[in-house]
Structure 1
Amino acid sequence: MRILIAGATGLTGRTLTRKIQQSGRTPVALVRDSSDLSVLPDGVETRTADLTALPDDVAEGMDAVIFAAGSGGDTPESLTDAIDRDGAISLIEKAKKAGVQRFVMLSSVGADTPEKGLEGLRHYLKAKHDADAHLKTAGIDFTIVRPVSLTDEDGTGRIEVSSDHVSGDTISREDVAEVLERCVSVPEASGAVFELCKGDESISDAMGHINRAA
């Protein structure tokens, strides 16, 4: 299985790329000309493109796509829109055209109600909301993962998932990456939209009962 990863050189994306490689599948890192490729595992295939101007064939030959890119809440609103909304929507459409089997979106808790988010994050959450809404109706198999605040701690392998609201407020990037990697092929993840935090259940068990999107 060949998996295109947008945001592969980011803090979560580089861990995700490594986990996909270790699983025996083939990660393909979507990178820009200016990307620091030294953070990627040895031997990882790359595909050069910018999320703000994706070529039509960017997803050709891919079995799945994972969007793990994010501008965060500290970038100008125009860049947030260009990456988190327009870039994501463009990649969704190109993945659909290429016959990609599943599109996995790394979103954020609060994307359902961006107007209720912290003032500095509302525009970012609105961009995520719009991208998620497009994915739900795009006509491609999808999973939307909405973690709480990310930490750089070692993963525990134990999580909590909910189609409503989770009880915790942190989760490690490593555990998020593990969940994203599994979402490309777990049948229960098809059409699922769920929040994610650190919890008491093993990732394998939690992934087995993800509630489908309403």
Structure 2
Amino acid sequence: MNVLVAGSTGKTGSQLVAQIKEMGQTPLALVRESSDTSVLPEGVTTRVGDLTDLDGDVCADADVVVFAAGSGGSTGPEMTDKVDREGAKRLIDIAAKSGVKRFVMLSSVGADNSNPKGDLAHYLEAKHAADEHLKASGMTYSILRPVALTDGDRSDSIKLGSDVDKSAQARRADVAYVLADAAVNGTHDGKAQDMQSA
């Protein structure tokens, strides 16, 4: 199975690529020309593409696509719109046209709210728009909405769904594992759910 990963060189994305490879599948790491690919496992196939200007063939040969990208906390609203909203929506559209079987979205806790408040309101609006676009795409989807991300090794326990404490934390290693499981095994098909490391 070929799994295209957008955001493959990020802190979560690089662990996701490694996890997909460990599961015996073939990750296709979507990278920009300026990306630091040294964080990727050795021998991983890379595909050059920029989420702000994607080619229509970016999903060629991909069975599954995972969007684990983000504009980053230090960028302004314009970049959030370009990457987290429009980039995600464009990738969804290309994936659907290319016959991709499943699309997995790394979203954020709070993105289920169509009218968020507070400091993260613009970011959450963008994530909400992308999530809704995915749901309407016709593809099999899975949307994961982790709470605040932290580093560290995988934990012994992961909590999903309505029992999640929204003030808790989620380890990136756990997030990568759940995303890989969703992509490769379809464990969370048709679900949009919050997540924490217990």
The reply to whether TM is greater than 0.5 is yes
Which residue number corresponds to residue 186 of structure 1?
A: 185
Cα distance in 2, alignment partners of residues 93 and 60 from structure 1: 13
Cα distance in 1, alignment partners of residues 163 and 114 from structure 2: 15
Which structure has more relative contact order (CA 8 Å, sep 6+)? It is 2
SS in 1 for 2:142: strand
Does residue 171 of the first structure (1) align with residue 170 of the second (2)?
Answer: yes
| Residue deviations 1:94-152 (CA, integer Å, cap 9, x gap) | 11111111000000001122644432x11111100000010011111100000000100
**8 Å Cα contact 1:73/1:124 also seen in 2:** no
> Normalising by structure 2, what TM-score?
0.95
Does residue 128 of the first structure (1) align with residue 127 of the second (2)?
Answer: yes
Q: CA RMSD in A?
A: 1.3
Q: Which ranges in structure 1 are unaligned for 5 or more consecutive residues?
A: 200-214
Cα distance in 1, alignment partners of residues 175 and 127 from structure 2: 17
% identical equivalent positions = 49
User: What's the offset of the Cα at 1:187?
Assistant: 4.1
* Corresponding letter in the other structure for 2:106: L
* Corresponding letter in the other structure for 1:147: P
* Corresponding letter in the other structure for 1:196: M
Which residue number corresponds to residue 101 of structure 1?
A: 101
**8 Å Cα contact 1:72/1:124 also seen in 2:** no
Alignment of 1:15-164 (within 5 A): 15-113=15-113, 115-119=115-119, 121-162=120-161, 164=162
The number of residues matched between the two structures is 197
**8 Å Cα contact 1:157/1:175 also seen in 2:** no
Give runs of ≥4 in structure 1 deviating > 3 Å: 114-118, 185-188
* Corresponding letter in the other structure for 1:180: L
> Normalising by structure 1, what TM-score?
0.88
Cα distance in 1, alignment partners of residues 148 and 87 from structure 2: 23
